[in-house]
């Protein structure tokens, strides 16, 4: 199937708070402290996805002012996350998935690919997923890669007897596990 990419920036999440006082049915906004924490970081994923994700945070800082209350009563706050297309020729993601046949009826192997046909940079990602339901536990693995480069493998093993969960992520030169 295909997923379209919006031409205009798109907001995923927007949270804001406003403070008011009410006296005799009159509402008056509380401006709060003038000092604010207002970072606006962006994660540029142009080469990987053709997108940029940005966050915006605005928090009042009233802890050093002896005459203002502590957060959340020190003024309005807001937080938002948005996405913007950075590859001008990117119009869609094409997703294909295929389940492979296995000899074990409790094992499920799936190969999925994602591509961006017609984009400035042709992106092709491959993912292999395995779910194996054994008598003594369950095994889940996920590995991804692109252009012959393996990004890494995530593996989760659950033991039905001990209820232990072993999580491992391995990349080219490192293995992380718990």
Q: What is the pTM (predicted TM-score) of this model?
A: 0.69
DSSP 34-97: S-EE----EEEEHHHHSEEEEEEEEEE--TT-TTSPPTTTTS-EEEEEEEEE--TT--EEEEEE
Cα–Cα distances in angstroms (integers) from residue 16 to residues 77, 87, 116, in the given order: 6, 30, 35
What is the structure's pLDDT at 62?
73
More reliable by pLDDT, 177 or 142: 142
Count of other CB atoms within 10 angstroms of residue 85: 20
> Roughly how many angstroms between the first and final C-alpha of the chain, as a whole number?
36
The confidence score (pLDDT) of residue 85 equals: 95
Tens of pLDDT, residues 34-90: 888 899 999 999 888 899 999 999 988 877 666 666 666 778 899 999 999 999 999
Kindly tell me if the per-residue pLDDT of 151 is higher than 90.
no
């Amino acid at each position: 199937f295909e997923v379209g990419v919006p031409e205009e920036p798109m907001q995923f999440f927007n949270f804001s708070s406003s403070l008011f006082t009410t006296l005799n049915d009159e509402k008056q906004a509380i401006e709060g402290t003038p000092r604010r924490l207002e970072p606006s970081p962006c994660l540029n994923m142009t080469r990987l996805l053709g997108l940029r994700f940005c966050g915006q945070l605005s928090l009042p800082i009233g802890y050093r002012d002896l005459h203002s209350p502590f957060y959340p009563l020190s003024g309005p706050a807001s937080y938002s996350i948005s996405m913007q297309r950075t590859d001008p020729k990117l119009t869609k993601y094409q997703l294909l998935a295929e389940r492979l046949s296995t000899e074990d009826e409790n094992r499920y192997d799936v190969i999925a690919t994602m591509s961006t046909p017609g984009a400035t940079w042709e992106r092709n990602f491959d993912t292999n997923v395995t779910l194996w339901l054994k008598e003594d536990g369950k095994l889940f693995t996920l590995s991804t890669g692109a252009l012959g480069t393996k990004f890494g493998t995530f593996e989760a093993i659950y033991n039905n007897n001990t209820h232990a969960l072993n999580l491992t992520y391995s990349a080219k030169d490192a293995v992380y596990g718990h």
